[in-house]
């Protein structure tokens, strides 16, 4: 009995010490971010998104110990109600990023080097089967050095506003993932090029080249001079006001790597 008491006392002391350590950490950087960044859920606005009946305001409007830094988006994941089926989210993403039918679109690509972010305007092609993104660049551009040193990237696609109706018809896609910078000698370069090249405008007719030039020929032309960037998305967030008409949240989240 005495032994057990000792163990209990020891456990309590350890817990107290740990709490002390946590408190010290907390002063360095507020755990869960500053409180004033959270919504104070006193009154629910009429345009508030739907959620499961049993949920409380604070389930979404406070730090849950897991995910503070993406709080607004992640709060959506906590409610079944309002979440679109995966297939519908996939379709909406592809529909938004389909370009002129070639799945080629213009994005802002965010990279970072020594904790300093850089956003670059760049065309990517999404492979509709895998949701992998491919871009081709000249060598020696800033973003390539950034991605070679840090694979963590984010992409944003945004529909530009029309007729001052941004909030009515807002449509955007945010991607978080890992980038791999491929040179011509990488085995993956060719696989990537076969997806990317058919979306390129063809070179002007010239006597040394059959018309249209074959993809194989074009791959050899770019192999030495170009770099292909492949981005494998971990999370894709789509904001589409159109979802609301179906009773879903305007924001939906897709994890392409997750098993179906
Ligand atoms: C399922 C998660 C969830 C629950 C439960 C929830 N909210 Fe929210 N709430 C959100 C999200 C997500 C936002 C959107 C943040 C944003 O993008 O503006 C939000 C926004 C708000 C806003 C700000 C709206 C604005 O336009 O500025 C208020 C106020 C609010 N909620 C109050 C409440 C109250 C009160 C309750 C409980 C009765 C509640 N919420 C329950 C997820 C939730």
pLDDT at 24: 47
Torsion over CA: 151, 152, 157, 161 (sign): negative
From 37, 41, 53, 66, the mutation candidate for ligand 1 (largest count of ligand atoms within 8 A of CB) is: 41
Domain residues for the domain of 50 are: 24-81
How many domains is the chain built from?
2
pLDDT at 12: 57
Mean pLDDT by runs of 10 across the 260 residues of the chain is: 59 52 53 86 91 92 78 79 95 97 97 96 97 97 97 95 68 96 97 95 78 89 96 96 90 90
CB of 41 closer than 6 A to ligand 1?
yes
Do residue 92 and residue 204 come from a single domain? Answer: yes
Do residue 66 and residue 152 come from a single domain? Answer: no
CB of 57 closer than 6 A to ligand 1?
yes
Do residue 99 and residue 190 come from a single domain? Answer: yes
Could you tell me the CATH number of the domain that includes residue 178?
Answer: 2.30.110.10
Do residue 64 and residue 123 come from a single domain? Answer: no
Using the 3D structure, point to which of 33, 59, 81 is the last residue of a domain: 81
Q: If you take atom 22 of ligand 1, which residue's CA is the nearest one?
A: 39
pLDDT at 10: 59
Q: If you take atom 23 of ligand 1, which residue's CA is the nearest one?
A: 39
Instruction: Transcribe 20-79 into DSSP letters.
Output: HHHHHHHHHS-TTS-GGGS---SS--TTPPP--TT--HHHHSS--SS-STTHHHHHHHT-
Using the 3D structure, point to which of 36, 62, 81 is the last residue of a domain: 81
């Amino acid at each position: 009995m005495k032994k057990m008491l000792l163990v209990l006392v020891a456990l309590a002391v350890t817990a107290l010490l740990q709490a002390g350590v946590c408190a010290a950490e907390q002063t360095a950087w507020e755990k869960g971010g500053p409180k004033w960044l959270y919504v104070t859920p006193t009154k629910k606005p009429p345009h508030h998104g739907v959620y499961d009946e049993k949920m409380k305001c604070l389930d979404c409007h406070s730090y849950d110990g897991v995910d503070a830094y993406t709080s607004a988006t992640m709060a959506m994941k906590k409610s079944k109600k309002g979440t679109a089926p995966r297939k519908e989210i996939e379709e909406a993403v592809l529909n938004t990023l389909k370009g002129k039918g070639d799945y080629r679109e213009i994005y802002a690509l965010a990279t970072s080097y020594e904790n300093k972010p850089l956003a670059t305007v760049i065309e990517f092609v999404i492979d509709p089967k895998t949701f992998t993104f491919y871009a081709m660049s000249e060598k020696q551009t800033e973003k390539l050095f950034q991605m070679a040193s840090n694979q963590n990237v984010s992409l944003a696609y945004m529909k530009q506003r029309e007729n001052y109706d941004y909030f009515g018809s807002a449509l955007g896609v945010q991607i978080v993932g890992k980038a791999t910078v491929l040179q011509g000698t990488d085995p993956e370069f060719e696989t990537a090029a076969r997806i990317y090249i058919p979306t390129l405008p063809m070179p002007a007719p010239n006597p040394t080249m059959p018309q249209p030039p074959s993809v194989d020929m074009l791959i050899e032309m770019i192999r030495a001079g170009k770099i292909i960037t492949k981005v494998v998305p971990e999370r894709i967030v789509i904001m589409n006001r159109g979802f609301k008409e179906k009773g879903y949240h305007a924001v939906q989240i897709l994890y392409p790597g997750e098993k179906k």
